[in-house]
Amino acid sequence: MTDNTVTPWEKQFYDPALFDAAAGDAYSDEAEALYFKLIGNVPRKIIEFGCGTGRVILKLAAAGHLVTGVDISPTMLSHLEQKISHFPPDKRTRINTICAAGGEVELHDKFQIVMAVDDFLTHFLQEEELTGMLRQIASCLEPEGYFITDLRIRDAEKISRAQKKYPKDINTYGLVHGVQVGEEAFSAAMKYWEDYDATSNILCSHQIFDFIRQDGQVEKTVYKTLRQKLLTHRELTAMAEQAALSLHRFIPFDEKDNNAGIYMFQLKAYA
């Protein structure tokens, strides 16, 4: 049987302009504030896996931390490098970037903080891939360092809608403006629907973005697909234990979803 959630354009999911404009299901400021509170103000050596266009690490560098950003997408990192070039020289030296898959990157340093924000771990669809990523994280942590990550809110109602048969309702996040494509700025409208397979625990988000000119005409329409393997609190902590990481603290986001929140791990030997 053909899996209609698999698309040839899946690897082109992340668009720097849409990402920076927070088009669609944007990462919350509240979650970001929790990360910064946990990290604190004392300058630290930090690495972020899945850093994207630098939404988090640029703020950390500006606050005095020494940061390394790892991302698999050359396009996202190119966008980040452009931003770094506008930083004052003293702050530019605090930022390093690496283009590689998180579980395959070769690191020779240890870090006080390892981060993987915005549902990063759900992008690993196979258990062995996720376990490998967690072992990579453990291997680059300083003895008393912390790994901080999160799982997003997905309440029962959302999952139930995703399990419904077709035809399905299409949802929207409305308009965002100032989406920069080359020298031109567009507005963007996102529409989406989701599928969920309870056997594999994979949630697939089908997204349609219209890039709209100032005269209201659509310049182009782009389809994007994102598949994520949903994790429970128990599953994530059990896999982390296999990678020698123990849960130090859990901060829930919402009472609707007991799995959603920020997870703070440390090496088992130092827990």
pLDDT tens digits, one per residue of 212-236: 999 999 999 999 999 999 999 999 9
Answer for the pair 29, 56: CB distance below 8 angstroms, yes or no.
Answer: no
Residue in the structure block whose two tokens are 């049987």? 1
* Exposure letters 241-266 (e unless 16+ CB within 10 A, then b): eebbbebeebeebeeebebbbbbbbb
Which whole-number Å values give the CA distances from 166 to 66, 170, 197, in the listed order?
49, 11, 14
pLDDT band at 27 (very low <50, low <70, confident <90, very high): low
Average pLDDT across the chain, whole number: 91
Instruction: Enumerate the CATH 3.40.50.150 domain ranges in the chain, comma separated.
Output: 26-153+231-270
Instruction: Say if residue 182's pLDDT is above 50.
Output: yes
DSSP state of 115: E
Nearest to 95 by CA among 87, 106, 103: 87
Provide the token pair at 265: 């791990």
User: What average pLDDT does range 47-75 have in this prediction?
Assistant: 94
Answer for the pair 223, 210: CB distance below 8 angstroms, yes or no.
Answer: no
Name the CATH code of domain 26-153+231-270 (choices 3.40.190.10, 3.40.50.300, 3.40.50.150, 3.90.1510.10).
3.40.50.150
No. of H helices and E strands in the chain?
8, 11
Lowest mean pLDDT across 67-71, 85-89, 241-245? 85-89
Q: In residues, how long is the chain?
A: 271
Residue 1 is which amino acid?
M
The domain made up of 155-229 has a fold known as N-terminal domain of TfIIb (2.20.25)
CB atoms within 10 A of CB 220: 11
- Residue 1: predicted pLDDT: 37
- Residue 63: predicted pLDDT: 94
- Residue 24: predicted pLDDT: 62
User: What average pLDDT does range 155-162 have in this prediction?
Assistant: 89
Q: In whole angstroms, what is the distance from residue 38 CA to residue 35 CA?
A: 5
Instruction: Say if residue 43's pLDDT is above 80.
Output: yes
Could you tell me what percent of the chain has a pLDDT over 90? 76
Instruction: Enumerate the CATH 2.20.25 domain ranges in the chain, comma separated.
Output: 155-229
Provide the token pair at 170: 């299409």
